[in-house]
Structure 1
Amino acid sequence: MNSVIEIEDLHYRYERETVLKDINISVPEGAFLALVGPNGSGKSTLLKLILGLLRPKQGRIKLFGEPIQQFKAWEKIGYVSQKSNSFNSAFPATVFEVVKSGLTKKTGMFKFIPASKKKDIIQAIASVGMEQYIHRNIGELSGGQQQRVFIARALVSEPKILILDEPTVGVDQHNVQNFYDMLHMLNKEKGITLVLVTHDIGTVTNNVTHVACLNRELHFHGNTDEFEKFNDQEVSSLYGHDVHVLHHEH
């Protein structure tokens, strides 16, 4: 199976502080990868490197087999940041308008978006189960509903990879599993490779295919069944504090 993200011997420093050391990760096409680790473990820095926002100090990153320095097809990668950092929910825009703004990656900021694209916008909204709210103002929605809209905004440009940074922040616990069910559908039915950044190990292991555990160094990278063989004490040693892993029946 082809790898859509390949990271080899990656190191990164901020001035004198080493944030990432000797990272090797391969993400196969169609995977659902959870990138887990404690606060300050380098998860956000690794995301910025994959998205081309930072340049590697040492090591290599390839996207779809191409060195990141030459990669130009950024429309293939969708990104959803934490809701609180990604959008001003008080902005007077409808769900349709917010999702429509995701087309600017393909069309350019000020280029006219043709009417034929309306179908793509509606389809992206439907894929996250928000079609009944299509004309609702974004500020009137719950945190979980807003996050679904931001995912639709990323999906409208038809990415091959969707990267989500702590997507359940602001989603009430009752709706977290519904949210993961939606991500599972996008992964299995639409074939989108998902990279989910989270520290919520207990919930995530029942929903993803692969786990990478990061704490400046890569302590584990493999499929979910292998990760679930770790006991709480072993995972806690990686995190530097007590962590409870929920083991699920598949």
Structure 2
Amino acid sequence: MIQPVIEINHVNFTYERQRVLEDIHLTVEKGSFLGLVGPNGSGKTTLLKCLLGLLKPQQGEIKLFGQQIEKFKNWHEIGFVSQKANSFNTGFPASVFEVVSSGLTSKIGLFKFMTAQDRRKVYDAIESVGLTKFAKRNIGELSGGQQQRAFIARAIVSNPKLLILDEPTVGVDAQTVQNFYEMLTHLNKNLGITLILVSHDIGAITDKVSHVACINKNLYFHGNSKDFESLKDDEMSEFYGHSLHVLTHDHSH
């Protein structure tokens, strides 16, 4: 039996006496592409921070690759791209190659010279996100969507087994978003990376992901995307507490 990438059991988290996560159970299998959806303030970002070891739940257990998170050391196996990546300082004087190679510093050390093998990894990561012809271009000269691709390349250059993306398409135009999802599908299917995509936009992701977890303090639904699509509108509105047409970006917890 294959070891799950993530196991979350009975996780509760409270901010200043306000319960944000309540009795969350969630298992993410190797090779899956999970869409984590929910309205503003539903706890998605808090759950991410718990998964990344940035917050510690008051109750419950989190395991990464079969290991309790408190003992987990192989953080290079997890790549993370935040929604803040696309508010990057565009005046920063670094090429796409340099930005992506910074993702190797945890492995090679900050001031170590890159080997030919390291450079190959950087170019491979750049190629996998479709930015080969921009490798020497200054990051500030790229569009928002291209910058976001560069940050994904930085996240995958150390060959992570799990990639977590927090609202990666905020502020990116529709055509770029479509290309972006195709790239994620390639990373998932062809490179075998387990993906978690956090999004407020249910409609955009249900036909892209293999599984959906719907969270609003509690975990309301976790299953494959076909079962999720078959849920009735009124059931979904009950999950969200309002009509699904008024979802906005999640900039809160």
Fold match by TM threshold 0.5: yes
Give TM-score, length-normalised by structure 1. 0.94
The aligned amino acid for 2:18 is E
Cα-to-partner distance string for 1:24-46 (whole Å, 9 max, x where unaligned): 00000000000000010000010
Query: Across the two proteins, how many residue pairs are aligned to each other?
Result: 244
Partner in structure 2 of residue 248 of structure 1? none
How far, CA to CA, are the matches of 1:111 and 1:86 in structure 2?
29
Stretch deviating more after TM superposition (112-121 or 62-71): 112-121
Residue identity in the other structure for 2:116:
A
Q: Which moved more, 1:79-88 or 1:188-197?
A: 79-88
Q: Which runs of 5+ in 1 are unaligned?
A: 245-250
Instruction: Please state how far the C-alpha of 1:88 moved relative to its aligned partner.
Output: 2.2
- Distance (whole Å) between structure 2 residues aligned to residue 85 and residue 8 of structure 1: 33
Match of 1:114 in 2: 115
Could you tell me which residue of structure 1 aligns to residue 177 of structure 2? 176
Which residue number corresponds to residue 58 of structure 1?
59
State the structure with bigger RCO (CA 8 A, min sep 6), 1 or 2. 2
4+ long deviations beyond 6 Å: none
Do the aligned partners of residues 214 and 98 (structure 1) sit closer, same or farther apart at CA in structure 2, a change above 3 Å counting? Answer: same
For residues 121 and 161 of structure 2, the distance between their equivalents in structure 1, rounded to whole angstroms, comes to: 15
TM-score (norm 2): 0.93
Q: Contact (CA 8 Å) 1:83, 1:169: kept in 2 or not?
A: no
SS of corresponding position for 1:3: coil
Q: Helix, strand or coil: the match of 2:70?
A: coil
CA–CA separation in structure 2 for the residues paired with 1:63 and 1:87: 29
Which position in structure 1 is the counterpart of 2:18?
17
Tell me the equivalent position of 2:4: 3
TM-superposed CA distance for 1:166, in Å, is 0.2
Give the corresponding residue for 1:247: none
Distance in 2 separating the partners of 1:214 and 1:76: 25
Structure 1 match to 2:251: none
Q: Which residue of 2 aligns with 1:190?
A: 191
What does residue 168 of structure 2 align with? Answer: 167
The amino acid across from 2:78 in the alignment is I
- 2:27 aligns to what? 26
Residue 125 of structure 1: aligned partner: 126
Letter in 2 for 1:223: N
Counterparts of 2:77 and 2:52, CA distance in 1: 11
1:154 is aligned to 2:178: no
Do the aligned partners of residues 145 and 211 (structure 1) sit closer, same or farther apart at CA in structure 2, a change above 3 Å counting?
same
CA–CA distance in 2 between the matches of 1:136 and 1:199?
32
After superposition, give the CA deviation of every residue in 1:135-171 in whole Å (9 maximum; x if it has no partner).
1111111111111000000010100000000011121
Counting aligned pairs with the same residue, the percent is: 62
CA positional deviation for 1:84? 4.5
Please provide the CA RMSD for this pair. 1.3
Question: Aligned partners of 1:86 and 1:69: how far apart in 2?
Answer: 31
C-alpha distance in structure 1 between counterparts of 2:243 and 2:8, whole Å: 29
Find the counterpart in structure 2 of residue 202 from structure 1. Answer: 203
Query: Is the 8 Å Cα contact of residues 95 and 138 (structure 1) preserved in structure 2?
Result: yes
How far 1:232 moved relative to its partner?
2.1
- Report the Cα offset of residue 86 of structure 1: 6.7
Tell me whether 1:67 sits opposite 2:82 in the alignment: no
Preserved contact between residue 82 and residue 167 of structure 1 (Cα < 8 Å): yes
2: distance between equivalents of 1:55 and 1:113? Answer: 35
> d(CA) in 2 for partners of 1:224 and 1:112?
45
User: How far apart in 1 are the matches of 2:116 and 2:90?
Assistant: 26
Paired residues of 1:6 and 1:61 also in contact (CA < 8 A): yes
| Corresponding residue for residue 144 of structure 2 | 143
CA contact (8 A) 1:93 1:137 kept: yes
Q: Structure 2: any 5+ residue segments left out of the alignment?
A: 246-253
Letter in 1 for 2:184: L
